[in-house]
Amino acid sequence: MANIKSQIKRNRQNEKRRLRNKAVKSELKTRAKRALEAAEAGDRERAEELLRLAQKRIDMAAAKGILHKNTAARRKARLTRRVRALLG
């Protein structure tokens, strides 16, 4: 445990941020999974709506610095490619 006041505060801040980032990353995975499940079921309209929402959340995470912009672009591209392939 740190003895310096500023480092104790920094540790508290880092823990809060870690938990917030973890929640956002978990949400990204869930939204991507839902879009893929809808595409597998053949529900084109719902799959495209869920894909759009997943892409929006990925962009928001990149804007907040939770994901690097290139990582966000790669995830969006891969997800879009998978959904389009399943829908045919």
CATH number, domain containing residue 13: 1.20.58.110
When pLDDT is cut at 50, 70 and 90, the band that residue 88 belongs to is confident
Rounded distance between C-alpha atoms, residue 31 and residue 50, angstroms:
7
Total domains, the chain: 1
- Residue 32's domain comprises 5-87
Contacts 24+ apart (CB under 8 A), 61-64: 61/24, 61/25, 61/28, 64/24
pLDDT score, position 1: 81
How does pLDDT run across 30-62, given as a tens digit for each residue? Answer: 999 999 999 999 999 999 999 999 999 999 999
Helices (H), the chain: 5-41, 44-63, 69-87
Residue 39 contacts residue 47 (beta carbons within 8 Å): yes
Q: Report pTM.
A: 0.88
